[in-house]
A = this chain, B = another copy of it.
Amino acid sequence: MSITLKQLAQKLNLSVSTVSKALNDSHEISEDTKVKVQALAEELQYRPNLMAKSLKTGRSNTIGLVIPYITNPFQSQILEGAQQAALDRHYNLVFMQSREDAKMEEEALNALLQQQVGGIVISPSANSNERFLQAIHGKCPIILVDRIDFDIKTPKIGVNSEKGAFEATQHLIDAGRTEILVVTGKNLGINQKRLLGYKKALMANYLPNRPENVVYVEYGQTAEDLITNLTHLLDKRLKTYTEPIGILCTTDTLTIHTLGILAKLGVQVPDTVSLIGFANTEYADCMNPSLSTVFQPAVEMGYESVSRLIDLMEREGDMKEETVIMDPIIIPRNSTRTSPA
């Protein structure tokens, strides 16, 4: 056990409260004793017991973050931003994973509440229990980040997925591609937005919307699904049409895997097929060819969400449900180059 106020007080022949005040630099303590107390505290490496402190004050200065997977680079960037914001505001951040599972998510939230967090930032799992979230929101402010397509009355911070997909598709079209394939995951609300942006871009350019051009990939079997489905579709497309093909992928993992599979299939990128995808990996520039991406400000989203959560907690009362939508950025690289090098 570490040293306590009481022990300090004994050694100094002072009362506990005097020591407490001295350490908190209270005006009602003489400089003299302040110095003595602080000196001993320093020497003995006194560290106030945060549990006792927050039990007493009723505030823990801790907030929680729940994300699906920490190993996902996009989500780890959210965490990075969130922790930075917490640090700046002198809060502790404790994070938990839901592993895309409603039950684990519920357990994570319960664990956070038990730790008396003052607020929670969450990127809900695909099958999240909305009622549960809403119920918690009654006692403890919640902010949604990234996965904001849930019908819950909370502030939300996300990106304009539709716009990102629209612009990416337009980028492919500008690069001279008229047959645009999409690779996407199933289920997630956010993917719907991206598909919508894709379709709108097709329409805006008077291109036909062929449902068979959408490749769906199951969560957890990215590689297998991709190889079979994509190979199949590409095979057909490359033989059927002569139109130049572009591919849009809607997530980090899908994008990188698609690039890898194209390489393995010996498909020339960008000459035969042009590729762009939502991806936040810093390695995009190291790919061969370097990968054009739709970059989402993940770190900023994390930072902003925690920052706003703390604002909310500190001036509690006005619980605005505002939604902040950030813009993704198209970063053109070689995988969508127009003229061969």
How many chain A residues sit at the interface, stated as a range, is: 35 or more
Q: Is the CB of A116 within 8 A of B286?
A: no
Taking CB atoms, residues of chain B closer than 8 Å to A285 are 260
CB of A127, distance to nearest CB on chain B (Å): 20
In the bound assembly, the distance between CA atoms of A285 and B51 in angstroms comes to 47
Closest residue of chain B to A264 (Cβ to Cβ) is B290
Task: Determine the distance from Cα of A52 to Cα of B51 in the docked complex, in whole angstroms.
Answer: 7
A91-122 near B? 1/0 per residue, CB < 8 Å: 01011010000000000001101111000000
Compute how far the CA of A77 lies from the CA of B97 in the bound complex, rounded to whole angstroms: 13
Known: A92-B94, A259-B288, A283-B256. A52 touches B50 (CB 8 A): no
Interface residues of A in 78-100 (CB under 8 A from B): 79-80, 83, 92, 94-95, 97
Tell me if A73 and B70 are in contact (CB < 8 A): no
B51 close to A139 (CB less than 8 A): no
| Contact A55–B47 (Cβ < 8 Å) | no
Say yes or no for A251: interface residue by CB 8 A criterion: no
Shortest Cβ distance from A263 into B: residue: B288
A211 within 8 A of B: no
* Given contact pairs A50-B116, A71-B77, A95-B95, A288 touches B287 in the complex (Cβ within 8 A): yes
Do A76 and B71 touch (CB < 8 A)? yes
Contact B49 A52 (CB under 8 A): no
A135 cross-chain contacts in B, Cβ below 8 A: 45
Bound complex: CA A52 to CA B290 (Å):
54
Task: Name A51's contact: one of B115, B281, B286 (CB within 8 Å).
Answer: B115
User: In whole angstroms, what is the CA distance A58 to B49 when docked?
Assistant: 11
Contact: A2 with B139, CB < 8 Å?
A: yes
Complex: A256 Cα to B70 Cα, angstroms: 21
Q: Are B113 and A2 in contact (CB under 8 A)?
A: yes
Q: Is the interface of A mostly helix, strand, loop or mixed?
A: helix
Tell yes or no: A257 within 8 A of B by CB: yes
**Interchain CB contact under 8 A, A50 and B115:** yes
Check B55 against A55 for contact (C-beta < 8 Å): yes
Chain B residues within an 8 Å CB radius of A286: 256-257, 259-261, 263
The reply to whether A115 and B97 form a contact with Cβ atoms under 8 Å apart is: no
Q: Does A1 contact B (CB under 8 A)?
A: yes
A 3-25 to B, binary, CB cutoff 8 A, 1 in contact else 0:
00000000000000000000000
Contact indicator A114/B55 (Cβ below 8 Å): no
CA of A157 to CA of B91 in the docked complex: distance in angstroms? 31
A70-B79, A259-B286 known; 4 new pairs, CB 8 Å cut-off, are: A49-B114, A50-B115, A55-B55, A71-B73
Per CB-CB distance, the 6 closest pairs between chain A and chain B, nearest first, are A260-B286, A263-B288, A288-B288, A51-B51, A50-B114, A51-B55
Name 21 A/B residue pairs within 8 A (Cβ), A-sorted: A45-B135, A48-B114, A49-B116, A50-B116, A51-B51, A51-B60, A52-B55, A70-B83, A71-B73, A71-B80, A76-B76, A94-B94, A95-B95, A256-B286, A257-B286, A259-B288, A260-B286, A261-B286, A263-B288, A287-B288, A288-B289
